Structure 1
Amino acid sequence: MKKVIISLICLFAVSAQAQNYGTVASRKLHMAEFAINNLYVDKVNEDKLVEDAIVKMLSTLDPHSTYANPEEVKKLNEPLQGNFEGIGVQFNMAEDTLLVIQPVSGGPSEKIGILAGDRIIAVNDTAIAGVKMSTDEVMRRLKGPKGSLVNLTVLRRGVNEPLKFKVKRDRIPLYSLDASYMIQDKIGYIRINRFASTTAEEFAKALKELKSKGMKDLILDLQDNGGGYLNAAIDLANEFLEEKELIVYTEGQKTPRSDFFAKGTGSFQKGRLVVLVNEFSASASEILSGAIQDWDRGLIVGRRSFGKGLVQRPIDLPDGSMIRLTVARYYTPAGRCIQKPYESIEKYNMDLINRYNKGEMMNSDSIHFPDSLKCKTKKFERIVYGGGGIMPDYFVPVDTTLYTDYHRNLVAKGVVLKMTLKYIENHRKELLGKYKSFADFNNNFEISSSMMDNLIAMGTEAKVELNKEQLKVSESLIKAQLKALIARDLWDMNEYYHVMNSTNESVKKAVEILQTGDYEKKLTRLN
């Protein structure tokens, strides 16, 4: 009873003190939390109580204002900061075992002799193979502070006894550029998976290398790129735009307008440019593609982008957690708002599915914009529309001709990946001996009938029943995926996309536009 009385006195004291600061609403919230924590009949987890209140408040605002606890903050920051601390291997979990695809070049694992194809079965004497450990848990055990030591037990093909390695963890780079190569004579191709702190540096290096190989035109692939840092998008736009050309501006109810301009120092201001986007290209991808389109600097090819144009400001909290609060909207140089409507969060979350159901992914005629959203590009006054996402200059429908349930089930059950890993494990030395370069491999290697038979058998074992008609439809795609995965394991992601782009309709359309003169026809004041 005494404790309750003291708590009530404290509550009244807080109430009286609260009259001197904050709004009525903020005082009300503070008093409610204090009362629950001190007077509620059962024990209360105050941290969880506050977290739940924050999450609930943010959920009523917009789809992108979020809360992250300290551990989530660390995971969110790693990909955008461009590095993490660990042992430095690319790996896949194959049949409950960590299989090393490639050690990171110059990384700690490569330095002490870990090889592609090795299987890591224990970390610091704790088994990670055959124990149904999650991938996140495996990664948690492999990561650690720079300079710390970790003991690994490794199985290697051709070696009877397990090998022991002591690895000193180090800072491991995370790259945002997936691929960079000459796709045709004088046409370069660069694929970026996110806009991180290192993206501008990676892009500049790739651009220089492609120019040295005779590149005159560029295909920039932003398909499936969900965004990242605003500054990275601005730095990339600067590579293409002229001095003082507006890249993007932001504005909000409590946030004054901020304009971001090109510096005119870019190294690709004159060559022809095609940017690829799809329904998963968002945020920074839309800022860059919107600026390119509005200044008639290049052509956008693909499908309407996601429509994420809200600016989040990170607000660090005392315990290491963070709120990402929406404070403004992004607008393209022509004044288009990138953000799609979100009056109903439920409808917002279902938007992509609804777009599929309405036929938008298959036919551009299914996309309708009201005249109120009409804008004109800055140089040639071409008609473009706001209202959510960037609508491409050339529409490329989703290619469903090669996809079947049989193929989807093979991929979903991990059969395609497992087949590749087993093949690589048995033929790595043979392949590297036979194909001295990726070009040699790409020109001459073919998926054999025996490999397809093995895939079908592994599918049956995984309860994916053979459908001969569907296999016939999807066979060319399956073979491309197998070949691309083998190329990735023998070389890197660059070679993976080199193979897979032979099946990508947007990439093929971009090459066609640059080769046929359609580029010049579209970028003219007459249209």
Structure 2
Amino acid sequence: MENQSNDKKYLLISGLIVVVVGSFLGGYFFSRAGYAIETAPLRFTHLNRDQAPQDVNWQILWDTLQAIDKKFVDGPVDQQELLYGAVSGAVASLGDPYSVFMTPQKSQQFQEDLRGEFSGIGAEIGIRQERLMIVSPLDGSPAEKAGLRPLDVILAVDGESAINFSLDEAVGKIRGEKGSTVVLTVLSDGAEEAKDVAIVRDTIVVKSVELDISEKDGNKIAVIKLRRFGEDTKKDLDKAVTDLLKENVKGIILDVRNNPGGFITSAIDVASNWVKDGEVVVSEQFGDGRKDGHRASGVPRLSGIPTVVLINEGSASASEIVAGALRDHELATLIGKKSFGKGSVQELIDLPEGADLKITIAKWLTPDGFNINVEGIEPDIEVDLTSENIDNFEDPQLDRAVEEVLKKM
């Protein structure tokens, strides 16, 4: 969900990660410990010591900063990097892989992701069971061409162990300039031995929506492939819906396999093509138990057309919201494999000098109250897609989806 204000946005994303400790009048305050980091000029300042909380000894932080400044052998210390490190450490202490502080450079990379344009290998990554793994390689990307698959565990990047990498660190090491090469050591799902995979980085442009209409047994079936939930998704999907309605299609397959997510507003826009105006698409559950429902709006132009949703291990976040909404409202059959299980809400907060804070503020619940986070969405019909299938250009999940759509007609 993107707020109308300029200082924060809400999104669902399965890659990248932030929390800050307060921003007042051009200086960062670490709680009310009596110190601030002023940005013009950049320096640490002592103030309001009498307001320091009694249950936390903030002096540990300030003594450490002073010791670094006075005694570090390779000083003087870059105060900007010291500030970034302090804030990053505060965020990391939350133990939440989706909350992260982003420096201006990393913030720019994050914005490029949402626009669907960046330079890298073309794969979304996530942390599951404390392991760094591939969530979804993008279609036609260097990652996919190199053979990476969802749930591949990344053990090392260019020979450096990835065991203790945060998502932020992993993204920074895997990305790079177009034409450069990165070597990932990966352990594929079900494999006994790891392997090195060399990948040449390229400019990645992610198309939001693709439409394919084919005829089966005299009936036209539309396959809508959603690659991400971005700012352009509603416009692109509206055009696709108009086109398929002109073709008088009799069935629809919504393919969100390997779709890592995006803006919640886009997820609601997508679901609103099936869900009736005013009905709940998803609810936010906050830490204090409060729930806010997000409802469909507009005319559900695809309501009444037999629909199947394809999901897999790479379907995350906004993809899971749409799949869960259509399932709970009995508007579609889900086919494929259990989704990734990323059902938390991040608020994106603009910070001074181009930095950003992305912090988890709530969890998502489907209309029937199912918690998407960790557990994921189970398909109604489970169908495997094996490496052999991929090598032979077979798609048994899509084939089964076509069968089910024809049964519904």
**TM-score by shorter chain over 0.5:** yes
1:165-218 residue CA offsets vs partner (Å, 9 max, x unmatched): xxxxxxx99631144333532211110111000101111101111111121211
Q: Which of 74, 83, 86 is the aligned partner of 1:50? A: 83
- Tell me if structure 2 keeps the 8 A contact 1:82–1:198: no
Aligned pairs for 1:406-445 (under 5 A) are none
Q: Which of 201, 207, 219 is the aligned partner of 1:175? A: 207
User: Which residue number in structure 1 is paired with residue 399 of structure 2?
Assistant: 508
1:363-384 residue CA offsets vs partner (Å, 9 max, x unmatched): xxxxxxxxxxxxxxxxxxxxxx
DSSP 3-state at the match of 1:186: strand
User: Which residue number in structure 2 is paired with residue 17 of structure 1?
Assistant: 48
By how many angstroms is 1:59 displaced? Answer: 3.0
Matched, 1:206 2:240: yes
Alpha-carbon distance in structure 1 between the residues aligned to 2:332 and 2:311: 13
Q: Which of 108, 119, 129 is the aligned partner of 1:74? A: 108
Matched, 1:137 2:177: yes
DSSP 3-state at the match of 2:177: helix
User: Which residue number in structure 2 is paired with residue 397 of structure 1?
Assistant: 384
- Tell me if structure 1 keeps the 8 A contact 2:206–2:227: no
Q: Which of 194, 197, 220 is the aligned partner of 2:254? A: 220
Alpha-carbon distance in structure 2 between the residues aligned to 1:40 and 1:295: 63
DSSP 3-state at the match of 1:311: strand
Alpha-carbon distance in structure 2 between the residues aligned to 1:391 and 1:279: 10
Q: Which has the larger radius of gyration?
A: 1
Q: State the percentage of identical aligned residues.
A: 28
Alpha-carbon distance in structure 1 between the residues aligned to 2:60 and 2:278: 47
User: Which residue number in structure 2 is paired with residue 169 of structure 1?
Assistant: none
DSSP 3-state at the match of 1:510: helix
DSSP 3-state at the match of 2:353: coil
DSSP 3-state at the match of 2:297: coil
User: Which residue number in structure 2 is paired with residue 322 of structure 1?
Assistant: 356
User: Which residue number in structure 2 is paired with residue 40 of structure 1?
Assistant: 71
1:468-510 residue CA offsets vs partner (Å, 9 max, x unmatched): xxxxxx5xx2xx5xxxxxxxxxxxxxxxxxxxxxx21111000
Alpha-carbon distance in structure 2 between the residues aligned to 1:323 and 1:229: 16
User: Which residue number in structure 1 is paired with residue 221 of structure 2?
Assistant: 187
User: Which residue number in structure 1 is paired with residue 284 of structure 2?
Assistant: 250
Give the partner amino acid of 2:207: Y
1:295-320 residue CA offsets vs partner (Å, 9 max, x unmatched): 11111110000000111111222231
What is the aligned residue count? 289
Measured on the aligned residues, the alpha-carbon RMSD in Å equals 3.3
By how many angstroms is 1:29 displaced? Answer: 6.5
Aligned pairs for 1:67-466 (under 5 A) are 67-81=101-115, 136-138=176-178, 175-182=207-214, 184=216, 185-253=219-287, 256-340=290-374, 388-402=375-389
Give the partner amino acid of 2:209: L
Q: Judging changes above 3 Å, is the alpha-carbon distance between structure 1 residues 511 and 79 closer, same or farther for their aligned structure 2 residues?
A: same
TM-score, length-normalised on structure 1? 0.50
1:83-107 residue CA offsets vs partner (Å, 9 max, x unmatched): 78xxxxxx999xxxxxxxxxxxxxx
Q: Judging changes above 3 Å, is the alpha-carbon distance between structure 1 residues 260 and 402 closer, same or farther for their aligned structure 2 residues?
A: closer
By how many angstroms is 1:32 displaced? Answer: 4.1
Give the partner amino acid of 1:181: I
DSSP 3-state at the match of 2:360: strand
By how many angstroms is 1:269 displaced? Answer: 1.6
Alpha-carbon distance in structure 2 between the residues aligned to 1:36 and 1:251: 43
Higher relative contact order (CA 8 A, sep 6+): 2
Alpha-carbon distance in structure 1 between the residues aligned to 2:66 and 2:106: 29
Give the partner amino acid of 1:397: D
DSSP 3-state at the match of 2:376: coil
User: Which residue number in structure 1 is paired with residue 96 of structure 2?
Assistant: 62
Say which structure is richer in helix.
Answer: 1
- Tell me if structure 2 keeps the 8 A contact 1:192–1:225: yes
Q: Judging changes above 3 Å, is the alpha-carbon distance between structure 1 residues 214 and 58 closer, same or farther for their aligned structure 2 residues?
A: same
By how many angstroms is 1:264 displaced? Answer: 4.4
DSSP 3-state at the match of 1:137: coil
By how many angstroms is 1:294 displaced? Answer: 0.8
Which blocks of at least 5 consecutive residues in structure 2 are unaligned? 1-33, 36-43, 119-139, 143-173, 181-203
Alpha-carbon distance in structure 2 between the residues aligned to 1:26 and 1:179: 58
Deviates more, 1:190-199 or 1:176-185: 176-185
User: Which residue number in structure 2 is paired with residue 144 of structure 1?
Assistant: none
TM-score, length-normalised on structure 2? 0.63
Give the partner amino acid of 2:89: K
Give the partner amino acid of 1:337: N
Give the partner amino acid of 2:361: V
Give the partner amino acid of 2:110: L
